[in-house]
């Protein structure tokens, strides 16, 4: 904190002081305040005990309104006022400063030369945000909802349709302000139009939904970028929302920010238990629901849906320097923060605890990958393979990198068209009969995304099937964006 000083007091000047009885330095200055009151008009605000100090009549500021309006960071604080405007201030007890400000050369001459003060009650954890909301100048554009004295705020969020089925955190002014502190972007900046209603969304409305999702302010850069990726036309969020299939956005985070905000890329990273993983994905889903109007049974037409429609978000494990990250493989410079959004379903477990060579493991993985969507559907969906460290270790120890693994998996999934055409093997589903004589790959060359994540506790990887809209190769794609802090 920087002290503001100027020349000593002059006739017509006045003083304002802020103290609290719980501060030993303030107690020490009781007589000093009385001495100043004998020479100048002085207004003393007390933050905790209206009977303190005893040497001068004080004004009760236990509401902390005046402490907030004067932006008091520590007590005691002495402010010199001239013509109704502050011209200088000091905090704590520095005898030379107090004497210079007041022009009283013997002020506090019997006291120590210097004593530090205490933190202002207006700056205690959580208090300042509440004061900003109560006494600050709010520039919110969203319509406030005023509840009755006896209304249950949690039930009110259900009644208004703001919930995904689980309780949400009521978005109070204090919580919204705190969430907005997580980004330097203006609260009224429009990020885009949210489908299906194509309603414009501001940073403020993102913050409101992030509060309801249970996010921390430091998650905001990830949420903002994830939403920008979801609103990219190539991600086809509108189609993904209105589909009758299982799919929703799967969010993968890369870069130092994942560690900084405490995301999980290890044990149980696709499961419960991590606040950042759970709430970042949930915030995006709530935005689609509450701003875009994508509510189940209305424009969200999923026949079954899936748990990923609550949230599906995790970080990639970047601890192995031999592994090229997903973001880097998609054009983001190494070491940069990024999010990748994949249109995907739930988890198809892959269990192989016996393969010990990369060739064996490739064939084994290919067998499970062929089941994505349907065994006989080809170039119809994309897929995400979440490769656990122990499975990746088999490839790594043989010198296989990301490109080699991807290439070999594609080769292992090429099949004669006659085996997968409609009607083959007595099954109606399949590719067009006209492709009988082709050799057909399961996925487009760019349609298999590999992420390295999970605990070192078993040879259990995961496959996430892609949305059926992936068959429109040039119209619907996963999207990767760098996070700009």
Terminal C-alpha separation, the chain: 26
408: part of which helix (H) or strand (E)? Answer: helix 402-412
In whole angstroms, give the CA distance from residue 386 to residue 327. Answer: 14
The predicted structure's pLDDT at residue 267? 96
CA–CA dist 225, 219 (Å, integer): 10
Query: CA 298: distance to chain centroid?
Result: 28
Q: Are 168 and 231 in contact (CB under 8 A)?
A: no
pLDDT of residue 6: 47
Separation of CA 83 from chain center: 46
By the 10 Å C-beta count (0-12 exposed, 13-18 middle, 19+ buried), 166 is classed as: exposed
Q: Indicate the helix (H) or strand (E) that contains 101.
A: helix 95-102
Nearest-angstrom CA–CA distance, 188 and 221? 16
List the chain residues with pLDDT less than 70.
Answer: 1-9
**Per-residue pLDDT, 137:** 82
Rounded to whole angstroms, the Cα distance separating 268 from 463 reads: 15
Q: Which two tokens stand for residue 457?
A: 């506790």
Structure tokens at 383: 């897929």
65-81 pLDDT per residue, tens = 999 999 999 999 999 99
Work out whether strand 415-416 and strand 439-440 pair parallel, antiparallel, or are unpaired: antiparallel
What angle separates helix 203-213 from helix 173-180, to the nearest 10 degrees?
Answer: 110
Please state, in angstroms and rounded to a whole number, the distance separating the CA atoms of residues 248 and 250: 6
Say what the pLDDT of residue 300 is. 82
Kindly report the pTM of this predicted structure: 0.88
Is the Cβ–Cβ distance between 59 and 44 less than 8 Å?
yes
Distance CA 441, CA 378 (A): 6
Beta bridge partners of 253: 315, 339
> Where do the domains of the chain lie, and which CATH numbers do they carry?
14-135 (3.40.30.10), 141-244+271-311 (no CATH), 323-485 (no CATH)
Q: What is the pLDDT of residue 424?
A: 96
**How many C-beta neighbours within 10 Å does residue 199 have?**
15
pLDDT score at 171:
94
The pLDDT, as a whole number, for residue 146 is 82
Contact (CB, 8 A) for 159 and 167 = no
Among 419, 441, 439, which Cα is nearest to 430's? 419
Residues 6+ positions from 318 with CB-CB distance below 8 Å? 254, 255, 258, 265, 325
Cis peptide before 434 (omega within 30 of 0): no
Between helix 402-412 and helix 358-369 the angle, nearest 10°, is: 60
Q: Which residue has the tokens 């709430």?
A: 279
CB 48 within 8 A of CB 121: yes
Local structure of 428: helix, strand or coil: coil
pLDDT of residue 7: 56
pLDDT at 147: 81
pLDDT given at position 4:
53
CA distance 366 to 345: 18
Contact in structure between 368 and 348 (CB atoms under 8 Å): yes
The number of residues making up the chain comes to 485
């Amino acid at each position: 904190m920087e002290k503001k000083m100027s020349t000593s007091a002059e006739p017509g000047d006045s003083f304002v002081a802020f103290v609290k009885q719980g501060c030993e330095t303030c107690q020490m200055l009781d007589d000093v305040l009385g001495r100043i009151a004998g020479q100048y008009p002085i207004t003393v605000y007390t933050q905790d005990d209206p009977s303190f100090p005893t040497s001068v009549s004080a004004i009760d500021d236990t509401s902390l309104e005046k402490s907030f309006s004067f932006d008091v960071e520590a007590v005691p604080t002495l402010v010199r006022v001239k013509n109704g405007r502050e011209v200088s201030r000091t905090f704590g007890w520095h005898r030379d400063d107090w004497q210079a400000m007041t022009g009283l050369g013997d002020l506090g001459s019997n006291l120590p030369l210097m004593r530090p003060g205490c933190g202002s009650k207006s700056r205690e954890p959580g208090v300042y945000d509440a004061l900003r909301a109560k006494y600050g100048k709010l520039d919110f554009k969203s319509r406030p909802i005023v509840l009755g004295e006896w209304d249950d705020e949690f039930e009110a969020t259900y009644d208004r349709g703001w919930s995904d089925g689980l309780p949400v955190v009521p978005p109070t002014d204090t919580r919204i302000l705190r969430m907005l502190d997580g980004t330097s972007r203006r609260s009224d900046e429009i990020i885009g139009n949210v489908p299906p209603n194509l309603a414009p969304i501001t940073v403020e409305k993102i913050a409101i939904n992030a509060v309801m999702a249970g996010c921390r302010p430091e998650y905001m850069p990830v949420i903002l970028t994830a939403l920008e990726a979801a609103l990219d036309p190539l991600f086809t969020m509108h189609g993904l929302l209105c589909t009758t299939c299982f799919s929703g956005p799967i969010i993968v985070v890369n870069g130092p920010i994942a560690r900084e905000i405490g995301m999980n890329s290890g044990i149980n990273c696709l499961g419960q238990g991590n606040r950042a993983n759970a709430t970042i994905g949930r915030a995006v889903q709530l935005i689609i629901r509450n701003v875009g109007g994508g509510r189940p049974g209305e424009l969200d037409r999923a026949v079954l849906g899936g748990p990923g429609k609550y949230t599906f978000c995790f970080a990639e494990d970047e601890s192995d320097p031999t592994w090229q990250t997903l973001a880097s493989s998609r054009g983001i410079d190494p070491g940069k923060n990024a999010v990748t959004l994949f249109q995907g379903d739930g988890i198809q477990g892959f269990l192989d605890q016996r393969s010990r060579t990369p060739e064996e493991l490739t064939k084994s993985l290919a067998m499970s990958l062929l089941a994505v969507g349907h065994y006989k559907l080809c170039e119809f969906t994309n897929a995400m393979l979440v490769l656990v460290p122990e499975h990746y270790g088999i490839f790594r120890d043989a010198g296989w990198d990301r490109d080699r693994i991807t290439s070999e998996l594609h080769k292992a999934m090429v099949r004669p068209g006659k085996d997968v055409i409609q009607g083959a093997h007595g099954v109606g589903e399949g590719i067009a009969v006209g492709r009988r004589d082709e050799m057909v790959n399961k996925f487009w060359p760019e349609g298999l995304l590999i992420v390295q994540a999970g605990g070192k506790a078993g040879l259990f990887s995961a496959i996430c099937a892609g949305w059926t809209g992936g068959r429109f190769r040039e119209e619907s794609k996963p999207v990767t964006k760098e996070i700009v802090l």
